[in-house]
Structure 1
Amino acid sequence: MRARLVVFPIKGRKWCFSRSVDPFAAQSPSAVTPTTVRGLWKKISSESKPINANAELLVDFISDKMNKAWMGLEIAPEGSMKSKIHGLGLKLLARVKPSEIFLKSISKEVTSVQVSYPPSLDPRLVRRRLRHIAMSGTILHKKYLIGSVTLLPLTTAFTVLPLPNIPFFWVLFRTYSHWRALQGSEKLLKLLSNHSNPETDDADESNNNNKPEQEAQSPTCVLLPSEELYKLLGEASEEGLDEETIVEICKLFHLNKIDVLKYRNLV
């Protein structure tokens, strides 16, 4: 499966990295997970799979349960306890960095990436920035994943309280989120590194300036300049792109407006 990535400057030296979501894409059958603990155990015990594959299945099972619980909070009556928990959850989610959301979008099913960017940017710089965010993600989210796993047993102590164990579920979500971001970082780095050796890419750049960009492409990473994106960017001010322009870009490339605005408002 090919993922379409969109890269463009959004405010000063800040760049936005986002993945297009195909609104007509159907869910892959391989993404279907068991709905019960019994079904999960049956699938794990009946099929001969490596430990990491069973771990993925367990993570998907927990994720499915968390998503269903979150959907239940969304439809809760106004003013109820569930509605207040949902509001608190939205505030916490607003603090999640957009780079984490971007890396999580690079799922294990992705086999190649197509990068759309304004032609005013050097394609090799675009590739290096993508590689940098992937390499940073592997280090950062591995560290946070270990920290979240360490906190999980501690937050179970709050189950003695006559209230929903919000700390436990939040730490559980963060554990899952860092796991997915780590997997996405490693996947993206692999797809980008198939282009060339990261250690020699910068050194060879001066020797490759006269080569057509198509020769620098890899089957797993294709960079395509977008004139439409360039026209929408126009002359961005130091305050960054205005919301109207961001909305137009999101409509054109099927991006999540809330995630894109996070890049502009990131301190």
Structure 2
Amino acid sequence: MRARVVVFPIKGRNWCFARTIGESVSDSQSASNIPSTFKQLWQKISSSSSSTETAAANAQLMNRAWAALEKAPSGSLKSKIHGLGLRLLSRVKPSEIFLKSIPKEVTNVEVVYPSSLNARLVRRRLRHIALRGTVIHKKFFYGSVTLLPITTAFTVLPLPNIPFFWILFRTYSHWTALKGSEKLLQLVSDSSENQDSSLAVVDGPQTVSGSHSSVGHPWVLQPSKELEQLLRSEDANVGLSPSTISEICKTFDLHKIDVLKYQKSL
């Protein structure tokens, strides 16, 4: 399985790292298993053990249940909870969203970047965000697991245990980002000492083709003249304009909301 990652400066020293949009088969199949009520969700969670791996798996269930809240009638309790959730999710760092998009099934990664950037610098920045993710998300994952027993005390209230569900979701989110970090670091660091002297840089069209896989590396650096032209008229210190970001997202099939977060992050 190949992951296509787009990398480009978005504001000052802030770089955007985003994977192209692609719905997996497992995501489509899991939609049919979404609990329709909080009671059903709680029954599935409480019926399982409290191990770390089970907590992460159950949090994935909560992640899928989010789709049910989106369809709730306006003004209802579910709709208000959905609004609260949106405000909380808006604070999630864009690097976490990116790392969560790298599943364990990925065997190689294609890195698309502006042709004016140095290939080694692009790969170094990609390795840095992966290495940093392994440290940060491991720390917050265990911190979230520690908070889970505390939030269960709120189950005595007659309202949905929002703190518990949120911490459960964050546990799964950090766990997924941690696994994505480890996978990405493994791919871009494979035999790094031998490959630094001959980087796998591929010139040509942006469409992934079978010829690219013949390079033999778990990663391929793809300089893009099209991306370079989109960035050329912008001031990197001021940041990209909304119109340019929209055009990049449209051209390379990226989530605009996730890309905009990089512009606001430090």
Distance in 2 (alpha carbons) for counterparts of 1:77 and 1:90:
16
Distance in 2 (alpha carbons) for counterparts of 1:218 and 1:131:
19
Q: CA deviation at 1:55?
A: 4.0
- Within 5 A, what are the aligned runs for 1:17-166? 17-22=17-22, 26-28=24-26, 35=33, 55=53, 59-60=56-57, 62-63=59-60, 65-166=61-162
Contact 1:104 1:180 in 2 (8 A): yes
**Deviation digits for residues 68-113 of structure 1 (CA, Å, limit 9, x no counterpart):** 4212211111111111110000000000000000000000111100
Distance in 2 (alpha carbons) for counterparts of 1:155 and 1:103:
27
RMSD: 2.9
The runs of 5 or more residues in structure 2 that have no matched partner are: 45-50, 203-214
Contact 2:59 2:169 in 1 (8 A): no
Give the residue type in structure 1 aligned to 2:120: R
Q: CA deviation at 1:28?
A: 4.8
Distance in 2 (alpha carbons) for counterparts of 1:114 and 1:26:
18
Counterparts in 2 of 1:34 and 1:81: CA distance versus 1, 3 Å: closer
Q: Which residue of 2 aligns with 1:48?
A: none
Q: Which residue of 1 aligns with 2:226?
A: 228
SS of corresponding position for 1:79:
coil
Distance in 1 (alpha carbons) for counterparts of 2:10 and 2:18:
12
Distance in 2 (alpha carbons) for counterparts of 1:13 and 1:186:
24
Give the residue type in structure 2 aligned to 1:265: K
Q: CA deviation at 1:135?
A: 0.5
Q: Which residue of 2 aligns with 1:44?
A: none
Distance in 2 (alpha carbons) for counterparts of 1:94 and 1:28:
25
Give the residue type in structure 1 aligned to 2:133: G
SS of corresponding position for 1:91:
helix
Q: Which residue of 2 aligns with 1:245?
A: 244
Q: CA deviation at 1:61?
A: 5.5
Distance in 2 (alpha carbons) for counterparts of 1:9 and 1:93:
24
The runs of 5 or more residues in structure 1 that have no matched partner are: 41-51
Higher mean Cα deviation, 72-81 or 87-96?
Answer: 72-81
Q: Which residue of 1 aligns with 2:258?
A: 259
Q: CA deviation at 1:164?
A: 1.1
SS of corresponding position for 2:192:
coil
Matched, 1:7 2:13: no
Distance in 1 (alpha carbons) for counterparts of 2:155 and 2:30:
30
Distance in 2 (alpha carbons) for counterparts of 1:127 and 1:149:
33
**Deviation digits for residues 155-202 of structure 1 (CA, Å, limit 9, x no counterpart):** 0011111211110000000000000000000000000111413xx98x
Distance in 1 (alpha carbons) for counterparts of 2:72 and 2:244:
34
Give the residue type in structure 2 aligned to 1:12: G
Counterparts in 2 of 1:105 and 1:257: CA distance versus 1, 3 Å: same
Distance in 2 (alpha carbons) for counterparts of 1:145 and 1:26:
25
Give the residue type in structure 1 aligned to 2:20: S
Q: TM-score normalized by structure 2? A: 0.81
Contact 1:195 1:221 in 2 (8 A): no
Match of 1:168 among 140, 164, 170: 164
Distance in 1 (alpha carbons) for counterparts of 2:233 and 2:223:
18
Contact 2:201 2:220 in 1 (8 A): no
**Deviation digits for residues 5-32 of structure 1 (CA, Å, limit 9, x no counterpart):** 000000011100000123xx55159x86
**Deviation digits for residues 216-266 of structure 1 (CA, Å, limit 9, x no counterpart):** x75210001001100111232222001111011111111100000000011
Counterparts in 2 of 1:33 and 1:12: CA distance versus 1, 3 Å: closer
Distance in 2 (alpha carbons) for counterparts of 1:14 and 1:153:
37
SS of corresponding position for 2:234:
coil
SS of corresponding position for 1:163:
coil
Match of 1:189 among 166, 172, 185: 185
Q: TM-score normalized by structure 1? A: 0.81
